[in-house]
Amino acid sequence: MESPAEPIVRIRNLTKSYRRGEQRVPVLTNISFDIAAGEFIALMGPSGSGKSTLLNLIAGIDKPDGGSLTVNGTDIATLSEAELADWRAANVGFIFQFYNLMPVLTAFENVELPLLLTSLARGERQARVDLALSMVGLADRTTHYPSELSGGQQQRVAIARAFITDPVILVADEPTGDLDRASANDILALLERLNAELGKTIIMVTHDPHAARSAHAIRHLEKGELDVAP
């Protein structure tokens, strides 16, 4: 019998609280779960339940107070800030609710940005950005600025930027939260393709049950605790 593959995300007894003056406000109390490589997970729960906090911990944007957090073979809870920044750049692509594109850069330049930190030559960067923008259906919008694109188009640029470095994990925090239904469906179809065709592990925070149906599995977060169902 084959032994099951090591999960790409392994979380054990994770805790996180924020300091507010003298008080510590617990956000995540004791989270343990695994995510298998190639999964597409939707993380749901009421506003303030800690979804973004958990996503940011998995993505190495923030650090836990306790517990262990192994992502793609690295215990990221033990890394220094500098090591964590390098680790993020190599392992994780980010998709945000409000796209977070640089307004003074074109669609092409926004997608190229993460590649400027790599050793790729200009011609290779150009080829990769062109391919990524055509994959998201924006080959005819490469010289447009964000202000010249619809919300759905801006999110597609942001998705191209997220996978341009070929990270193993994509994290998305309410990626359809600011979009109409048709644009949201385009974004969800694109995430499904990145999962199915490129094998990206996707962790998507959403409060929209329709969006969550694109995922293979749904986990619910309630008052800092995760449901126990598989």
Ligand X SMILES: Nc1ncnc2c1ncn2[C@@H]1O[C@H](COP(=O)(O)OP(=O)(O)O)[C@@H](O)[C@H]1O
Interacting residues with ligand X (CB under 6 A): 18, 20, 25, 27, 45, 47-53
Q: How far is the CB of 56 from ligand X (least distance, A)?
A: 8
Q: Which two three-digit tokens encode residue 175?
A: 């990626």
> Residue 64 burial (CB < 10 Å; 0-12/13-18/19+)?
buried
52, 154, 155, 183: which one contacts Mg ion (CB under 5 A)? Answer: 52
CB-wise, 66 or 199, nearer to ligand X?
66
| Rounded least distance, CB 51 to ligand X, Å | 3
Give the integer Cα–Cα distance in Å for 56 and 58. 6
Give residue 172's region: left, alpha or beta (phi > 0; psi -120 to 50): beta
Q: Of ligand X, Mg ion, none, which one sits near residue 66, judging by CB under 5 to 8 A according to partner kind? A: none
Give CA–CA dist 202/167, Å, rounded.
11
Report the residue number whose CB is nearest to Mg ion.
Answer: 52
Helices (H) and strands (E) in the chain, counts: 7, 10
Please return the burial class of 116, using the count of CB atoms within 10 Å of its CB with bins 0-12, 13-18 and 19+: exposed
- Chosen from Mg ion, ligand X, none, partner binding at 18 (C-beta under 5 to 8 Å by type): ligand X
Least Å distance, CB 52 to ligand X, is 3
Q: Which stretch binds Mg ion (CB under 5 A): 26-34, 44-52, 88-96, 114-122?
A: 44-52
Q: Minimal distance in Å, beta carbon 106 to Mg ion?
A: 29
Nearest to 133 by CA among 103, 104, 163, 95: 163
CB closer to ligand X out of 28 and 107: 28
Select from Mg ion, ligand X, none the partner in contact with residue 53, using the beta carbon and a kind-dependent cut-off of 5 to 8 Å.
ligand X
